[in-house]
């Protein structure tokens, strides 16, 4: 077996072959599924912990503070300690709540984000499943989380929660359109929905550069709309703490609250990952046509670092939004989508289709 | 009985939520019973009294120098101005000659108090609208003023530096330098506040044309301070009925006519600049002299009724003393601006959204202990 950090496909193929050599194909696939599940679950928790730490540090520096700095060097174990605290936290039972839905809601939210991770390409060959409609799958699955949010708001028998859930419903349904349309703009440009091919198409120029102005507009709209879709500031109306105390998760405590909290951060990672895959070339290094020396140096950096580096950059921008802007009001939020983003997006899509039709995109 | 209660609070069509007494945006133990239709506010019913301590009744068993310490606990963000208001009333009743030095120091400290109160307003208003970073910027700069207070007055927030007739102590030797350093520092930092919040599109959309109050309404409801002045009601006591050293300084009365949430915010931002101008005019000219007038050990006011009003950071604070000639007052009434501003909250927020209600109550800058006293 030869292992290379530049291409994981030989590594995964080796696992597959040795499993198939040892047992029946059905068993091999079952074990592979388990391995993928465990790896993604571990990755999920790790990214969640790291993002919570990163958010606390970033917001601290934006606010003239130090942030966590006691537990371990630079406070890196603070979130681990917080996780254990939440694990052992008492779950306060709620009277007159709809028990089944109340307990189900956090799992729906967390499963939606968990399933999405499976389709993200982290590096060359490091993708759990490469569907031929991969990007469609991501959009479809990630919007399932609104069901969990609505159920959480409805079942906790709290008026604040219900308002938060309704806001969240209206918000996600609206902004899903913009996310979808800006993704379609890129699908038109790439000519495929398969994520590995979208990344491959960006070998000689990331779409945000090579796709002319429509791709850039789509990138901006995607950033705005996806920030709204994951309920982060300045669009965090569903949990607007100065109005609705904590919105839809007001009544949740302990590990169930942690699920919502974790899912929010993972969703941030996912939308950043999707933005990177669609617009910033995914794991593809920065190549400039004709500069062979430069390209060779860029290729020397492993793809996995490219992916996480770019994702971190987008995540930082999303955090920057949150800690700078005040929150929108619900009617302004919907107006922004239906009056501005959606028309711009539709025109943008036509423009992109025209560019592709004329063959100006390569 | 239950039927009756239900009718009073709401009819069945309304969706009633209880904001408070523990709620992040009421800045204390204020309870607002809000009737909603969807997101729209139909009616707001403020319930007060959660932190009522009976300060006005307590004063009847205390001597005048003791009462000064209770006035801190009303509007704790204008603590020094409250002290001053009460002392001015007592001095007016006694017709005491107050040294010039005292007047100057009181004025400077009043303006510092106003600045720190507006800083906290800016901080918490940003937070009400969801911009959490404002809070830390505001508190960072407020800390500098509190350090000046600590040095000179001993207390940071609850200063109790005034006594009837003068001040508790002379100013600290570093006082003038500290204040000048602060002004130099804050003149650089105040534009940052504008950069972060004032020109922001989201902020302007959230606050402009929200919670309108016309000039006539402001006068009818007795709205004073920044709230009244944003509606075009010229009500600055410092200008119209100067006390302490306000007749010796030049300053503008900030007036806007729009009367919306944005301009109530704007008045406070401009007032911080004016306050710094006032302090700069006085700080180098503090006259030498005693820090307190000679007062009798036991202060007894002559029989009669006395009234004095001052401009706190939130509006007009009136102190009304009825004396029967004893060492305790017969009756004391404080006309506190926050209580007056709470009444028209319903009027101002009807028909707007819940988020606007938070913005409007934020722009009225409530300090709950001042409402309940």
d(CA A270, CA A354): 30
What is the number of other CB atoms lying within 10 angstroms of the CB of residue A292? 10
> Is the pLDDT reported for residue B104 higher than 70?
yes
Whether B127 sits inside 8 A of A242 (CB atoms) is yes
Provide the pLDDT for residue B322: 92
- Per-residue pLDDT reduced to its tens digit, B308-328: 999 988 888 999 999 888 888
**What's the whole-number average pLDDT of chain B?**
86
In this complex, is the C-beta atom of B197 within 8 Å of any C-beta atom belonging to chain A? Answer: yes
d(CA A194, CA A26): 26
Chain A / chain B CB contacts < 8 angstroms: 83
The residue segments making up the domain with residue B179 are 55-338
b (16+ CB within 10 A) / e for B234-268: ebbbbeeeebbbbeebebeebbbebbbbbbbbbbb
In the sheet that B40-47 helps form, which strands lie side by side, from edge to edge?
Answer: B15-19, B31-37, B40-47
Residue B189 lies in a domain: yes
Provide the pLDDT for residue B320: 92
Radius of gyration of the CA atoms of chain A, in A: 21
For residue A328, which residues of chain B lie inside 8 Å, CB to CB? 202, 205-206
Whether B205 sits inside 8 A of A332 (CB atoms) is yes
Whether B25 sits inside 8 A of A243 (CB atoms) is yes
In the sheet that B316-323 helps form, which strands lie side by side, from edge to edge?
Answer: B304-311, B316-323, B331-335
Residue B228 lies in a domain: yes
Residue B289 lies in a domain: yes
d(CA A190, CA A282): 13
Cα-Cα-Cα-Cα dihedral of A349, A351, A353, A357, to 10°?
Answer: 180
Half-sphere exposure of B268 (CA within 13 A, CB side): 32
For residue B140, which residues of chain A lie inside 8 Å, CB to CB? 64
Query: Nearest C-alpha of chain A: how many angstroms from B109?
Result: 27
Q: Which of A65, A163, A241, A242 to mutate to test the interface with B (most CBs of B within 10 A)?
A: A242
- Per-residue pLDDT reduced to its tens digit, B24-62: 777 778 888 888 887 888 888 888 888 888 888 888 889
Average pLDDT over residues B215-238: 89
Residue B305 lies in a domain: yes
Residue B34 lies in a domain: no
Residue B366 lies in a domain: no
In this complex, is the C-beta atom of A327 within 8 Å of any C-beta atom belonging to chain B? Answer: yes
In this complex, is the C-beta atom of B369 within 8 Å of any C-beta atom belonging to chain A? Answer: no
Residue B301 lies in a domain: yes
In this complex, is the C-beta atom of A332 within 8 Å of any C-beta atom belonging to chain B? Answer: yes
Task: Please give the distance of CA B109 from its chain centroid, rounded to a whole number.
Answer: 14
Provide the pLDDT for residue B1: 44
Question: Is the bond preceding residue A72 a cis peptide, omega within 30 degrees?
Answer: no
Give me the phi and psi of A282, to 5 degrees please: 55, -125
Question: Is the bond preceding residue A234 a cis peptide, omega within 30 degrees?
Answer: yes
> Is the pLDDT reported for residue B286 higher than 80?
yes
What is the number of other CB atoms lying within 10 angstroms of the CB of residue A230? 24
In this complex, is the C-beta atom of B353 within 8 Å of any C-beta atom belonging to chain A? Answer: yes
Provide the pLDDT for residue A2: 62
Q: Which residues of B13-111 form beta strands (DSSP E)?
A: 15-19, 31-37, 40-47
Pick A64's closest partner by Cβ from B137, B353, B358.
B137
Provide the pLDDT for residue A173: 84
Provide the pLDDT for residue A361: 66
Residue B27 lies in a domain: no
Residue B118 pLDDT level (bands cut at 50, 70, 90): very high
Q: Does ipTM come in above 0.95?
A: no
Percentage of residues in chain B having pLDDT higher than 70: 97
Average pLDDT over residues B97-107: 88
Pick B136's closest partner by Cβ from A63, A237, A245.
A63
Which residue(s) pair with B47 in the sheet?
A: B31
For residue B356, which residues of chain A lie inside 8 Å, CB to CB? 329
Q: Which of B355, B357, B366 to mutate to test the interface with A (most CBs of A within 10 A)?
A: B355
d(CA A199, CA A2): 24
Task: Please give the distance of CA B309 from its chain centroid, rounded to a whole number.
Answer: 13
- The low-confidence residues of chain A, meaning pLDDT below 50, are none
Q: Which residues of A119-250 form beta strands (DSSP E)?
A: none
CATH number at residue B140: 1.10.645.10
* Structural domain total, chain B: 1
Whether B130 sits inside 8 A of A242 (CB atoms) is yes
For residue B127, which residues of chain A lie inside 8 Å, CB to CB? 242
The pairing of beta strand B15-19 with beta strand B304-311:
unpaired
Query: Nearest C-alpha of chain B: how many angstroms from A123?
Result: 36
> Is the pLDDT reported for residue B10 higher than 70?
no
Query: Nearest C-alpha of chain A: how many angstroms from B183?
Result: 20
For residue A67, which residues of chain B lie inside 8 Å, CB to CB? none
Most confident of A221-235, A285-299, B265-279, B281-295: B265-279
């Amino acid at each position: 077996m030869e292992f290379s950090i530049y291409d994981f496909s030989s590594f995964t193929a080796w696992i597959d072959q040795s499993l198939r050599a040892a047992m029946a194909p059905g068993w091999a696939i079952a074990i592979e599924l388990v391995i993928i599940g465990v790896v993604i679950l571990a990755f999920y928790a790790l990214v969640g912990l790291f993002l919570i730490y990163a958010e606390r540090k970033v917001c601290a520096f934006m606010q003239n503070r130090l942030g966590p700095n006691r537990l371990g060097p630079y406070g890196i174990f603070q979130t681990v300690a917080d996780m254990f605290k939440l694990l052992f936290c008492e779950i306060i039972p709620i009277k007159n709540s709809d028990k089944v839905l109340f307990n189900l809601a956090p799992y729906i939210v967390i499963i939606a984000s968990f399933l999405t991770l499976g389709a993200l390409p982290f590096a060359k060959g490091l993708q759990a499943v490469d569907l031929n409609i991969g990007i469609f799958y991501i959009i479809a699955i990630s919007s399932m989380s609104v069901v969990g949010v609505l159920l959480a708001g409805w079942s906790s028998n709290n008026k604040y929660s219900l308002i938060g859930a309704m806001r969240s419903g209206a918000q996600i349904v609206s902004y899903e359109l913009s996310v979808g349309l800006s993704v379609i703009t890129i699908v038109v440009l790439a000519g495929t929905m398969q994520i590995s091919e979208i990344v491959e198409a960006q070998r000689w120029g990331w779409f945000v550069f090579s796709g002319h102005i429509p791709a850039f507009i789509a990138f901006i709209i995607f950033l705005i709309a996806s920030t709204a879709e994951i309920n982060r500031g300045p669009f965090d109306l569903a949990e607007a703490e100065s109005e609705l105390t904590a919105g839809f998760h007001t009544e949740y405590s302990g590990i169930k609250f942690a699920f919502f909290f974790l899912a929010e951060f993972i969703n941030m990672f996912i939308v950043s990952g999707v933005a990177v895959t669609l617009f910033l070339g995914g794991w593809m290094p920065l190549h400039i046509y004709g500069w062979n020396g430069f390209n060779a140096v860029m290729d020397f950096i492993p793809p996995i670092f490219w992916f996480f580096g770019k994702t971190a950059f987008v995540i930082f921008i999303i955090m920057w939004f949150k800690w700078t802007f005040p929150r929108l009001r619900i009617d302004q939020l919907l107006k922004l989508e239906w009056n501005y983003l959606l028309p711009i997006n539709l025109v943008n899509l036509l423009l992109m289709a025209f560019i592709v039709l004329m063959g100006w995109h390569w | 009985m239950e039927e009756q209660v239900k009718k009073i609070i709401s009819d069945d069509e309304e969706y009633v939520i209880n904001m408070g007494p523990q709620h992040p945006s009421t800045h204390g133990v204020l309870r607002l019973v809000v009737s909603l239709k969807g997101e729209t506010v139909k009616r707001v019913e403020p319930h007060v009294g959660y932190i009522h301590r009976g300060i006005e009744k307590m004063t009847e068993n205390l001597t005048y120098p003791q009462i000064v310490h209770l006035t801190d606990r009303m509007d704790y963000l204008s603590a020094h101005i409250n002290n001053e208001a009460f002392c001015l009333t007592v001095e007016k009743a006694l017709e005491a000659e107050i040294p010039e030095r005292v007047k100057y120091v009181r004025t400077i400290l009043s303006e510092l108090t106003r600045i720190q109160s507006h800083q906290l307003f800016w901080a918490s208003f940003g937070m009400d609208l969801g911009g959490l970073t404002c809070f830390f910027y505001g508190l960072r700069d407020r800390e500098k003023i509190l350090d000046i207070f600590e040095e000179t007055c001993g207390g940071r927030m609850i200063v109790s530096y005034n006594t009837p007739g003068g001040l508790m102590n002379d100013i600290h030797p570093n006082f003038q330098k500290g204040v000048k350093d602060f002004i130099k520092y804050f003149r650089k930092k105040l534009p940052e506040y504008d950069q972060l919040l004032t020109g922001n599109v989201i902020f302007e959309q959230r606050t402009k044309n929200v919670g309108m109050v016309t000039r006539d309404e402001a006068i009818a409801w007795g709205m004073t301070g920044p709230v009244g002045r944003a509606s075009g009601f010229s009500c600055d006591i410092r200008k119209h009925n100067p006390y302490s050293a306000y007749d010796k300084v030049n300053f503008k009365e900030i007036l806007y006519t729009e009367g919306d949430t944005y301009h109530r915010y704007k008045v406070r931002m401009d007032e911080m600049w004016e306050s710094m101008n006032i302090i700069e005019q006085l700080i180098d000219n503090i006259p030498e002299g005693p820090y307190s007038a000679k007062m009798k050990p036991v202060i007894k006011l002559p029989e009669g009724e006395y009234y004095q009003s001052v401009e706190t950071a939130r509006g007009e604070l009136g102190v009304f003393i009825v004396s029967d000639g004893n060492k305790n007052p017969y009756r004391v009434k404080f006309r506190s601006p926050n209580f007056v501003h709470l009444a028209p909250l319903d009027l101002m927020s009807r028909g707007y959204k819940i988020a606007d209600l938070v913005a409007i109550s934020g722009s009225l800058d409530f300090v709950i202990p001042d409402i309940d006293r």
